[in-house]
Homo-oligomer: A and B are copies of this chain.
Amino acid sequence: MKMSNGVEWALHSCVTLSQSREPVPAARLAELHGTAPAYTAKQLQALSRAGIVGSTMGQSGGYVLTRPASEISALEVVRAIDGDEPAYRCTEIRQRGPLGIPAERCARPCAIARAMAAAQDAWSHALAQVSIAGLAADIDADSDGTAMPDVRRWLATTRN
């Protein structure tokens, strides 16, 4: 079970965007994070499709969060990048083989699928309670309150 690598980039991008009211181009985010520009852009496109960020085209364009950072959960970001399909998909093994159960008696999902779904719900619930604003605050606290001001300052800097 492996999550897309782009989730990390997307979450960092959202945290960074939460520090700017002005649009930030994808290339700028890639430069700040030290990530591949083209691929970073791809993740931002996914966020845009999901409605988490809004895009402005043309000169002085870029991406902005569409909602307050406190109202965007980490779960939304993960789902936007990694897809919202559950990690476990039941192939209905119980219906196959010599002891296959007829589909009519399979109203409820398989017990194994139920257990996996419950685990995924616990995972989702944990991520739903983490907001971008909370992440930004935690990152800031880890650096004794210097990280986010530094980001704001760097974003305000005109591209040399």
Contact = CB atoms under 8 A, between A and B. Distances in A.
Contacts of A90: 8
A34 B92 CA distance: 10
Contacts of A15: 112
A45 to B, nearest CB: 19
Question: Assembly of this chain: how many copies?
Answer: 2
Interface string A104-122: 0100101110111011111
Nearest to A15: B112
Interface string A132-160: 00010011001100010011001000000
B118 A126 contact: yes
A50 interface: no
A138 B125 CA distance: 24
A1 B103 CA distance: 28
Q: How large is the interface on A (under 10, 10 to 19, 20 to 34, 35 or more residues)?
A: 35 or more
B94 A139 contact: yes
Interface residues of chain A: helix, strand, loop or mixed (majority): helix
A108 B151 contact: no
A43 B153 CA distance: 53
Interface of A: 1-5, 7-9, 11-12, 15, 31-35, 74, 78, 82-83, 85, 87-91, 93-94, 96-101, 105, 108, 110-112, 114-116, 118-127, 130, 135, 138-139, 142-143, 147, 150-151, 154
